[in-house]
Amino acid sequence: MKKALVTGISGQDGAYLSKLLLEKGYEVCGTSRDAQVSPLRNLDRVGTRKDVRLASVALNDFRSVLQVLFKVEPDEIYNLAGQSSVSLSFEQPVETQDSIYLGTLNLLEAIRFTGKAIKLYNASSSECFGDLGGQAATEETAFRPRSPYAVAKSAAFWQVANYREAYSIFACSGILFNHESPLRPERFVTQKIIRSACRIAQGKQKRLQLGNIEIQRDWGWAPEYVEAMYRMLQQDVPQDFVIATGQTRKLQDFVATAFAAVGLDWREHTTIDQALFRPTEIMIGRGDASKAAEKLGWKPKYKMAEVVQMMVQAAAEADG
């Protein structure tokens, strides 16, 4: 039985990945800073909490990371931990850099220290590309990060590449574009939109306040994206991959689709708030996952409209 260590297992991707790995016969250990008190609602929602082993790890503490590797003895590590909000990174740039870059570096160095053949997946981000003016990003596209979050992810990406080349460690990064699900917390704008539309339809909320709705993103379905992560670590040679749908839609389209799903016209219930605009913004994000299709056999089934419908349905069911 293979063993997988999943950092950040309580998040959206970690929960779905735990379900996938358990279905494939893995023994799964998930980490958080304090496993005894960490909220694990997402594991409850996907039905894996009782089957996942938990461990407390501070990824910015090398000794803590090394201890869990000796304790768990994983065959694969999926590094999904770290500060995950682009907006919050502007308010907490040091914490963002520390949790993303240093955490990744400690995992890489701990693998090198143990000398064991452990495979590492690192969660990178489309934010690393910056604003490409509508060009679809591939694995060869240069990074031009425009947020503290993107800077941290870019640094972690290159550290993974360095350890792969310098120390022959099986380490790779998935450069994932936006991917959503009902497990997204409401601090993410997509879930904020979904839940607000449902509450407004139920008469529980008056209006939805949003920032720049002209931005365009490549939105996919999170459960499909964790399948791509898994496939990356099953390759004979470690490589980095862009994971995306290739379809870009405006945030305004996301809003309109969500409100239409509950029988409302978004324009009658939405206010644009300049205070919610970011200091720097990526206007268009689009990915080209041709390499993943060719080498991983991975292709997305769901695009933005289907993702919104599934999130609205889940929110309606949760509200009873």
In whole angstroms, what is the distance from residue 107 CA to residue 102 CA?
A: 9
pLDDT band at residue 230 under the 50/70/90 scheme: very high
Concatenating the DSSP letter of every residue in 31-71 gives EETTTTT---HHHHHHT-GGG-EEEE--TT-HHHHHHHHHH
Question: Is residue 155 in a domain?
Answer: yes
154 and 203 fall within a common domain: no
Q: Is pLDDT above 80 for 202?
A: yes
In whole angstroms, what is the distance from residue 160 CA to residue 254 CA?
A: 34
Mean pLDDT (whole number) for 212-218: 94
Which CATH number do you get for residue 164? Answer: 3.40.50.720
pLDDT in tens, 74-112: 999 999 998 888 888 889 999 999 999 999 999 999 999
Domain count within the chain? 2
Mean pLDDT (whole number) for 287-311: 97
81 and 168 fall within a common domain: yes
In whole angstroms, what is the distance from residue 207 CA to residue 196 CA?
A: 8
pLDDT band at residue 320 under the 50/70/90 scheme: low
15 and 122 fall within a common domain: yes
Q: What is the pLDDT of residue 120?
A: 98
Question: Is residue 290 in a domain?
Answer: no
54 and 33 fall within a common domain: yes
87 and 201 fall within a common domain: no
Helices (H), the chain: 12-23, 41-46, 62-72, 86-91, 93-97, 103-114, 148-167, 189-201, 222-232, 251-261, 290-295, 304-318
Residue with tokens 């039985």: 1
Tokens found for residue 243? 């994971």
- Give SS3 for 249: strand
Mean pLDDT, all residues of the chain:
94
The closest alpha carbon to 55, from 96, 12, 98, 3, belongs to 3
26 and 160 fall within a common domain: yes
38 and 72 fall within a common domain: yes
31 and 166 fall within a common domain: yes
Q: Is pLDDT above 70 for 37?
A: no
Cβ atoms of 57 and 65 closer than 8 Å: yes
144 and 210 fall within a common domain: no
Q: Are strands 27-32 and 53-56 parallel, antiparallel or unpaired?
A: parallel
In whole angstroms, what is the distance from residue 229 CA to residue 24 CA?
A: 14
Q: Which of 68-77, 218-227, 274-283, 302-311 has the lowest mean pLDDT?
A: 274-283
Mean pLDDT (whole number) for 220-225: 98
- The letter for the amino acid at 314 is A
Query: In the beta sheet, which residues pair with residue 179?
Result: 220
pTM listed for this prediction? 0.94
171 and 260 fall within a common domain: no
299-305, Cβ contacts within 8 angstroms, sequence gap of 24 or more: 300/220, 300/221, 300/224, 300/244, 300/245, 301/221, 301/224, 302/220, 302/221, 302/224, 302/245, 303/219, 303/220, 303/245, 303/247, 304/219, 304/245, 304/247, 304/249, 304/253, 304/254, 304/257, 305/257
Return all residues near 253 (Cβ < 8 A) that are at least 6 apart: 304
Question: Is residue 295 in a domain?
Answer: no
Question: Is residue 294 in a domain?
Answer: no
Cβ atoms of 51 and 22 closer than 8 Å: yes
32 and 59 fall within a common domain: yes
In whole angstroms, what is the distance from residue 30 CA to residue 52 CA?
A: 7
In whole angstroms, what is the distance from residue 278 CA to residue 120 CA?
A: 32
Question: Is residue 292 in a domain?
Answer: no
Which CATH number do you get for residue 267? Answer: 3.90.25.10
Q: Which domain holds residue 164?
A: 3-179+219-243
- Give SS3 for 14: helix
Question: Is residue 153 in a domain?
Answer: yes
In whole angstroms, what is the distance from residue 243 CA to residue 289 CA?
A: 5
Q: Which residues are marked as active site?
A: 125, 127, 149
